[in-house]
Structure 1
Amino acid sequence: MFIRKLLNVRSHYHLRRWVSTDPLSFQNKKLQSYLESLRLEYYALRVSAAGNNSEYARLSRLDGVVNALEQHRALQRNITSEQDMAVEKDEDMRALMQEENNVYTDLLQKQEDALLKELLTLSDDELYPALIFEVNAGAGGQEAMLFAYELYNMYTSFFDHMGWQYDEFAHETTDIGGLRHANLIVHDSEAYQWLRYEAGVHRVQRVPATEKAGRIHTSTASITVIPRPADVHVHIAERDLKIETKRASGAGGQHVNTTDSAVRIVHLPTGLAVEAQSERSQLKNRELAIKRLHAKLMQQQLESAEASTQATRKAQQGNLNRNEKIRTYNFVQDRVTDHRVQKGGTQHNLSGFLDGGQQLSGLIERLQLENRRAKLVELLETWQPPKEAADMN
């Protein structure tokens, strides 16, 4: 009797999985057909990809999906069918067969999770070697600039957390420690897939230090992410540069007053000018100024080459109004809420989040997963099997 009940439970389980309406269920015939097309593409590329960089890159990206698919199918072959179990008369043997099936079913579920993860990363087809990252203060005056500076620190800490190299080429601060705007270039092929979800208006709600009545103020800052395609290059000729040196201004003791360490470079063909004075050495400031000039020229080239870039920036920044936001940082309630996540979009321990470490990366991973799932579902809705595969069916 126990064996019969157990078999009925497992049978119901398999039936429930089979009739699932989830387009990403592995019992969905269209998903199975799509996976098989990827497998066939993979083995065809193994024959033809030699010497072809684009085909080899595609082969490398398919490798994880196909390996996970082959393991999934191997596990499926180890599960005894209900028909074979039904003809087995020995109840002890049937119990052993069911026990094995339970083990393989659990392994199959884990393998499906691994296969889906590989399949979802395959949708990241927008790969760029670097990107321009901008932080701009929005509505809220000085409080917005203080918040922009906190965001700047959070993201540069996040860059360090991820091990990315980056260069700053614009940084305008205020007298009280706020930030009007900052531009950086981030050098990593994975950066765009992470930072693209951070673009938009960020809202802060808190009582400013200067607020004597204890009222909560709402301010904004924006993040803009502009990818840099691999085929965009900038060449800077020495003859096109006008280089000037001067004494550094600001705090610095005797060094400021006695050394012409600050460097100003003008790019004559474009009229772009950059300065650097943060280093003690004139040579290091010159190198830093060249990097900033290179990044500015890169940004200028991107904006002239792609008319959509300005539209992208406008869409990401919005009007910087308080009611436009992708995320709210509420200091009074010690929480951060991402408004794009329907369930579980609120986290507490705001100071930990602003450290730019695991809390931030965990939220971005959640956004990545949801966006990848949506892209895959959309792809499957319009995808049609290759003609040869359709004819075989």
Structure 2
Amino acid sequence: MKKLYDLFINSKGISTDTRSLEKGQFFFALSGENFNADAFVNEALSKGASHVVCTDPNFNNNPQVTVVENALTTLQELAGYHRQNFSFPIIALTGSNGKTTTKELILNVLSQKLKVKATIGNFNNHIGVPLTLLSFPTDLDAGIVEMGANHQKEIAELCKIAKPDIGMITNYGKAHMEGFEGIEGIKKGKSEMYDFLRENSGKAIVATWDQEQEMRSQGIDRYFTTSKANLNKIDPFINLDYEDINVSTHLTGAYNYHNILFAITIGEYFGLSSEQIKDGIEGYIPSNNRSQIINKTDLKIILDAYNANPSSMSVALENLAKQDVDHKIAILGDMFELGEYSQEEHQKIADLSETLSIDRTILIGQQFYKTIGNQERFENFEDYSKRYRNHKLKGLILIKGSRGMKLERCLELFD
């Protein structure tokens, strides 16, 4: 592994896609169930890859190629080898909702004082975590690693690679219920983070509002979320007092207040001043369809179309209902990966929307189409768009659905 690591250190980073490969990068041919990446080895070399890792024995005599049994396993082992050279702490976070927002908030806060890098986007799986680690230079003050999972034992495996010093779970929610086989499976799977920290003398940041976290994190060196912050209002953005300072954020929803508290707590842990923490929180502006506020004539839109599950959908609806505006509208798309729980959970969301102070609810997708209630229903986005092209709306709209629904397309329909 040392020989391979020396080649990596002298490269210009890792690439797994020849379409975006740059000259001097180290190329890993990662094949999938229906994809043979070894077929692109010659293309990678012709584009100037400094070295290639693949599984095709035909390249055994090529000095620019290392042939291995499993390219993904080798990538993970290389990331683990690189991790051994870090003198800085790794902060890891997982959870059903809010991982990426919390990660970006922590990055914004710590960057006010420290040299820090984090997972780009949501590169948070068995490929993304090693790629994240390999993107970290060895002279950082801290590294932030987001970890996602859709089944048990996945967080445990990611922790073995990243070896976090500090960890947190944003929440236990109804995400990936099919793979986790229900809410208890979710709690057990996410808590694999705590298991690693407990076994390796790590530290846990624990939510004071979550009794499940308090119970499952026992036996770890724990830091509870800050008690120095107080929520003022959400109109539609979160405004809070921290110590003797007012903090105005670009985030909406009570659920994001909890994400902010995690970021403040990490800032305190690393010794940042209250002003530095304030600047970091206020400087974060959501993007990529995550709780974005978009203003149009007579219309304000909460675009939260990156992902959805029953937990995040419920709190988003409750947040919409609490807004002090006329004409509150919810446009909701199907929630994916719910398996046998899908019909029940979609019906619960439909029922919830009728109990809240929301003037109009539009449901889009095959699962929502099967629900019962007084909402408008469309089996797919195309049917909705035909009905409501150049839709003239006023007030406040929540747009939320799973990534595969691509509900950001709604923006094109509003006049």
Length-normalised TM-score, structure 1: 0.24
Length-normalised TM-score, structure 2: 0.23
Structure showing greater relative contact order (alpha-carbon pairs closer than 8 Å, 6 or more residues apart): 1
Judging by fraction of residues, say which structure has more helix.
1
Q: Which has the larger radius of gyration?
A: 1
